[in-house]
Amino acid sequence: MTATPQPLWQRTLFLVGVSMLFTHELDAMTHSEWRVLPLTSWLAPETGRVVFVALHVPLFALVLGWLTSQLPERVLRAQFWVSVFLVVHAGLHVAFSGQPHYTFEGILSNTLIFGAAMFGALYLAANYWLGRA
């Protein structure tokens, strides 16, 4: 990947995808997502909620820190891998959707989850078509 400037439309694809992921995490609280995840599903409900929320602080700090502290020539690589995660994250939701505590059935939840994946995939496709893959 080169350090050539991104077109505004491509950068917008990335930013909308990440924004949808972060907003999904707000929605995840209303769905008690910690009851679905293998890391927290075995914990008592209140403990699982606290651990789920607390783990998002270092997670968001790492993602935001990684995205904002990269040298200009590495920003595109960081955006590439976050976009890959947006797609993988949707796949994880599909994989967990059969669990009894999975409640992400509404239009808002699914728009955020799969919309983020769509924007991540569009960003990756743009990378490929623009020769940055």
Lowest-pLDDT range of 73-77, 81-85, 117-121: 73-77
- Structural domain of residue 79, as residue ranges? 8-129
What's the whole-number average pLDDT of the chain?
90
3 belongs to a structural domain = no
Q: Dump pLDDT digits (tens) for 99-110.
A: 999 999 999 999
Six-digit token string for 89: 């994250």
Residue 15 lies in a domain: yes
Asked whether residue 74 is domain-assigned, the answer is yes
* Mean pLDDT, residues 81-87: 95
What mean pLDDT comes out for the span 110-129?
96
Q: Three-state secondary structure along 43-95?
A: CCHHHHHHHHHHHHHHHHHHHHHHHHHCCHHHHHHHHHHHHHHHHHHHHHHHH
| Domains of the chain: total | 1
Residues 54, 80: Cα–Cα separation, whole Å:
26
* pLDDT at position 4: 67
Reply yes or no on whether the pLDDT at 3 is more than 60.
no
Question: What are the pLDDT digits (tens) for 59-71?
Answer: 888 888 877 777 7
pLDDT tens sequence across 8-45: 999 899 999 999 999 999 999 999 999 999 999 999 99
Residue 127, pLDDT > 50, answer: yes
The pLDDT assigned to 1 comes to 46
In a domain, 2, yes or no: no
pTM here is 0.82
